[in-house]
């Protein structure tokens, strides 16, 4: 059985996902996004980690960037830049949509966020921190679950053994339907067929 760390749960009607994962450039020699999601981490801790990582990468640390990082960390599911901006704009009136987008990209570059592709080439983001892992993204509810490196370890071994290929980096995100949404759909289908 694969070790799975559960992410947050979204409300019904989340956006659907598809396509290839687009991750940050970091953690050479390691796959996935190289970190676990920061849900449940306090705002002060998120700000401290964010400031440290941005400075280390030579990027500016601003109150707006820290606010975006805290809002992303508090999100129970993946969110687009637009969704995050809409959530934040009442409390942060001077925060522009472009600032949110650029900040999410900066957070992805320093390994504090993971970018997931949705239908229509729109990206959603999820907050991250160590240890290394990959993602299972539900296209129905938007929940993102973390799966450890064990999931792809055999692929790495076989590539080395059978093809002589040494994998240095892998960013894997699997898109589908989570257990709960599958059960909900089955229950709804059973209810519809049981009524006739």
Reported as a single tens digit per residue, the pLDDT across 84-136 is 999 999 999 999 999 999 999 999 998 889 898 887 888 999 888 666 677 78
Q: Which CATH number fits domain 4-194: 2.60.120.20, 1.10.3720.10, 1.10.10.10, 3.40.630.30?
A: 1.10.10.10
Whether the per-residue pLDDT at 19 is higher than 70: the answer is: no
- For residue 16, what pLDDT is reported? 35
Q: Find tokens 């990468």 and name the residue.
A: 57
Domain ranges of the chain: 4-194
pTM of structure: 0.60
């Amino acid at each position: 059985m694969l070790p799975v760390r559960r992410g947050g749960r979204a409300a019904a009607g989340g956006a659907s996902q598809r396509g290839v994962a687009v991750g940050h450039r970091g953690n050479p020699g390691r796959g996935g996004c190289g970190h676990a999601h920061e849900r449940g981490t306090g705002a002060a801790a998120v700000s401290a980690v964010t400031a440290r990582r941005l400075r280390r990468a030579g990027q500016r640390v601003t109150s707006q960037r820290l606010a975006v990082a805290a809002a992303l960390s508090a999100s129970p599911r993946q969110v687009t830049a637009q969704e995050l901006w809409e959530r934040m704009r009442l409390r942060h009136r001077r925060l522009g949509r472009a600032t949110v987008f650029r900040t999410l990209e900066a957070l992805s570059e320093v390994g504090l966020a993971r970018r997931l592709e949705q239908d229509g080439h729109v990206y959603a983001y999820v907050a991250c921190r160590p240890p290394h892992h990959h993602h299972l993204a539900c296209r129905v509810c938007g929940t993102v679950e973390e799966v450890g490196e064990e999931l792809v370890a055999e692929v790495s071994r076989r590539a080395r053994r059978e093809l002589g290929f040494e994998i240095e980096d892998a960013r894997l995100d699997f898109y589908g339907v989570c257990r709960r949404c599958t059960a909900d759909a089955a229950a709804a289908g059973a209810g519809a067929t049981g009524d006739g």
